Chain A
Amino acid sequence: MVQVHLWSGLRPLVDGREVVEVEGETVGQLLDNLVKDYPGLKPAIDKGVSISVDGQIIPKSRGVKVKDSSEVFLLQRLYAG
C-alpha cells in the first residue's frame, strides 16, 4: 500500500483524512484506485490533479513507478506558464 498525502481541501471528501492508503505500482494505478477506494475524491481527480513522487512533480505521466515507501502527494492540477 502506498500512502498518499492529500491537500487539505480534499480532506472533507474523505472523512477528514490527511493520508489515505491505496494499492498501486504506477501513478496511473494510484489514481485509479484512489477513485475506486475513495469515491469522494472522484470529482477532484476527474477535474485533474498533479502528483508528486519522492519530490518529483508529475503533472500527468501515469506510467511513473511508485513504491510502497515512496513519498506521494496529490497536488493541485498544475499548468505551465
Chain B
Amino acid sequence: MSKIHVTTKVNGDEVEYLCEPRETLLDCLRDHLDLTGAKEGCGTGDCGACSVTMDGRLVCSCLVLGAEAQGKEIATIEGMAEDGALHPLQRKFIEHAALQCGICTPGILVAAKSLLEKNPDPTETEMRYWLAGNLCRCTGYDKIIRAVMDAAAEMREAS
C-alpha cells in the first residue's frame, strides 16, 4: 500500500505529510502533525469534536480524507489564539465557565467562530442550530450559548 504525499496549509503554515489513503484528515492532524486539539468523539460526524475549517468551510475532520487536504487551507483550534492573545470566544468560554471536561470545547470554539464570521449577530436559536452538530455532555449547553452570545456582542462592539 503506497502512501500519498500531501502538501497543505494548516493555521497558515505550509505542512507536508505522508498518509495512507484510508487515513482521515483528523488522523493526519493528530498522528502526523501532532495537532491533537481536534478530538475524535465518534468518527461518524455525529459529535463535532473534530471540527476544523477547510478553505473556510466548517467540516468534521473525521469525514475528510487526509489525501483530500492537498492544496487546501485548514484551520484548527491551535490557530485560534493569535500572537499569544485568546480569541474573544476563547476568553468568554473561560469567563462563563462554558466548559466542564473540555473535550468538546475545541470543536465548539471552531464551530462558533465559523458562525460569527458568517453571522455576527445570530439569535439564540440560530446559534443552537448551528452548534447542533457539536455534542456537549457536561454543560447542558446553557453556558456555552451564553458565552457565544457574549463574545458575539463584544466582537460586534469592537468592529
Please say whether the chains A and B touch (CB closer than 8 A).
no
Q: Report B's interface with A, CB cutoff 8 A.
A: none
